[in-house]
């Protein structure tokens, strides 16, 4: 994928943007769902970034689940605060609660995590994709904070994953993987999804549903969400325990997509399914290193083959990070990724906890969009 990226960049230029035909010459209206649970600190900054959008056709629904909303006051009629009673304690249920209160004029739903912030052109970029006929589009992520080593490594993981599973899939004509936040979906299409489980993993079910029903899940590289990165090892373990559990629990959807792809002889679905069936990357890399070590005792030819594969992989990671961030500190932290992988291994050992509790990730970095954009501009100088 990195080689394809460089060939395209050399041939088409550094500033090339994926062409989007205008099939629907109108502005689409978006319903943004903000799911907050027992914490309202991040609602004001996120709503502030929403109200600063250059695309004005939207309504925001804040689902304050089990929250004190006495301090939430918005004068803009496009923002509505909802407080479910009794408390829902599930993101999927909060999303559905907001959908039940949607205005009939809305075209697409966008699901947001409460700790995020939106670039002012976020909705304008998504509007371009819907005008081009896309029914499901994943936005791009950038780090809201890189103030600790773990935050930098978390941001590096996003750069790698978004390049491999979203940007390059989009560029070769395949569907992008979706994230648990920042995905925009045509409302009738979203309402077709039927959830049977409510403890995490809603995005796994959603993307398996979408990829089988739309020609391509788009990736809007310039529709940017600033996402809070974890700041320490304990927070990473907690977060990854939940993610790893969800990946294995919902891996069955990969087989469903694979069978559909084989029946339709659809390369997009088959490739998408293989990525769904792939274990977490740290496990794949660990297995590769283990086999490299074993090969040294079996055959030197086999050892050099495995060593070349692993070397190419690590060079690829460094190359992706080097071409997608100008932050020299983040580039240096590529060599600390083994510590990040070790924390994920510890998360794997605690996976049973995720079947009994949501393991909510705690966030602390309350900032406004102007501060993030100013820091980003300063970093680019």
Percent of the chain with pLDDT over 90: 55
pLDDT at position 364: 65
pLDDT at position 381: 63
Residues linked to residue 142 through DSSP beta bridges, in sequence order: 226
- 40-54 per-position pLDDT tens digit: 999 999 999 999 999
pLDDT at position 281: 87
Cα separation, 326 vs 234, whole angstroms: 28
CB 225 within 8 A of CB 179: no
More confident position, 229 or 46 = 46
**What is the mean pLDDT of the segment spanning 299-317?**
93
Mean residue pLDDT across the chain: 88
- 79-97 per-position pLDDT tens digit: 999 999 899 888 889 999 9
Cα separation, 239 vs 349, whole angstroms: 13
pLDDT at 70 over 60: yes
Backbone angles phi and psi of 183, in degrees to 5: -100, 130
Spell out the residues 6+ positions from residue 290 whose beta carbon is closer than 8 angstroms to its own.
Answer: none
pLDDT at position 216: 96
Give 273's Cβ-side CA count (13 Å radius): 19
pLDDT at 267 over 80: yes
Closest C-alpha to 228, from 91, 370, 361: 361
Cα separation, 7 vs 63, whole angstroms: 45
Secondary structure (DSSP) of 202-266? HHHHHHHHHHTTSS--EEEEEEEEEEPPP-SHHHHHHHHHHHHHHHHHTTHHHHHHHHHHHHHT-
pLDDT at position 209: 92
Beta strands at 136-143 and 183-186: parallel, antiparallel or unpaired: antiparallel
pLDDT at position 197: 61
pLDDT at position 177: 94
Closest C-alpha to 50, from 24, 20, 81, 25: 81
Closest C-alpha to 171, from 325, 19, 11, 13: 19
pLDDT at 306 over 80: yes
More confident position, 363 or 365 = 365
- Three-state DSSP class for 267? helix
Three-class DSSP labels, 120-146: CCHHHHHHHHHHCCCCEEEEEEEECCC
More confident position, 380 or 270 = 270
Backbone angles phi and psi of 33, in degrees to 5: -105, 120
Spell out the residues 6+ positions from residue 254 whose beta carbon is closer than 8 angstroms to its own.
Answer: 208, 273, 274, 276, 277
Closest C-alpha to 343, from 176, 262, 231: 231
A 10 A CB-CB count for 241 gives: 22
Percent of the chain with pLDDT over 70: 94
pLDDT at position 361: 56
CB 332 within 8 A of CB 323: no
Put the strands of the sheet holding 79-82 in their side by side order: 79-82, 58-65, 30-37, 108-113, 183-186, 136-143, 218-227, 117-118
State yes or no: cis peptide before 31, omega within 30 of 0: no
Cα dihedral 295/296/301/305 (nearest 10): 60
pLDDT at position 203: 82
pLDDT at position 266: 96
**What is the mean pLDDT of the segment spanning 282-305?**
93
Cα separation, 210 vs 185, whole angstroms: 9
Cα separation, 24 vs 21, whole angstroms: 9
pLDDT at position 352: 63
131-140, 155-164, 260-269, 346-355 — which is least confidently predicted?
346-355
pLDDT category of residue 337 using cuts at 50, 70 and 90: confident
pLDDT at 170 over 90: yes
């Amino acid at each position: 994928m990195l080689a394809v990226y460089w060939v395209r960049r050399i041939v088409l230029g550094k500033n090339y943007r994926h062409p989007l035909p205008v099939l629907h010459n109108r502005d689409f209206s978006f319903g943004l769902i903000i799911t907050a649970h027992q914490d309202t600190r991040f609602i004001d900054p996120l709503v502030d970034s929403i109200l600063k959008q250059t695309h004005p056709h939207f309504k925001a629904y804040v689902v304050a689940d089990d929250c004190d909303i006495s301090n939430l006051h918005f004068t803009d009629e496009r923002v509505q605060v909802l407080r479910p009673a009794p408390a829902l304690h599930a993101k999927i249920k909060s999303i559905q609660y907001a959908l039940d209160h949607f205005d009939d004029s809305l075209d697409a739903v966008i699901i947001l995590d409460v700790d995020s912030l939106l670039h002012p052109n976020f909705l304008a970029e998504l509007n371009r994709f819907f005008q081009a006929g896309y029914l499901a589009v994943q936005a791009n992520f950038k780090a809201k904070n890189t103030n600790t080593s773990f935050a930098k490594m978390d941001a590096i993981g996003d750069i790698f994953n978004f390049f491999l599973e979203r940007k390059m899939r989009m560029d070769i004509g395949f569907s992008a993987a979706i994230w648990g936040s920042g995905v925009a979906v045509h409302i009738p299409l979203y309402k077709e999804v039927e959830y049977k489980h409510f403890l995490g993993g809603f995005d796994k079910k959603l993307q398996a549903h979408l990829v089988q029903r739309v020609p391509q899940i788009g990736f809007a590289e310039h529709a940017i969400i600033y996402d809070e990165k974890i700041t320490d090892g304990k927070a990473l373990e907690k977060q990854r325990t939940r993610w790893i559990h969800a990946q294995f629990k919902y891996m069955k959807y990969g087989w469903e997509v694979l069978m559909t792809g084989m029946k339709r002889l659809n390369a997009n679905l088959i490739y998408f399914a293989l990525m769904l069936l792939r274990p977490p990357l740290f496990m794949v890399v660990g297995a590769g290193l283990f086999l490299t070590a074993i090969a040294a005792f079996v055959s030197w030819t086999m050892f050099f083959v495995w060593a070349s594969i692993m070397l190419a992989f690590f060079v690829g990671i460094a190359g992706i990070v080097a071409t997608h961030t100008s932050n020299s500190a983040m580039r240096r932290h590529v060599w600390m990724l083994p510590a990040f992988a070790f924390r994920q291994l510890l998360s794997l050992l605690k996976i049973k906890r995720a079947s009994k509790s949501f393991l909510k990730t705690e966030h602390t970095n309350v900032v406004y969009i102007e501060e993030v954009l100013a820091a980003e501009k300063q970093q680019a100088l």
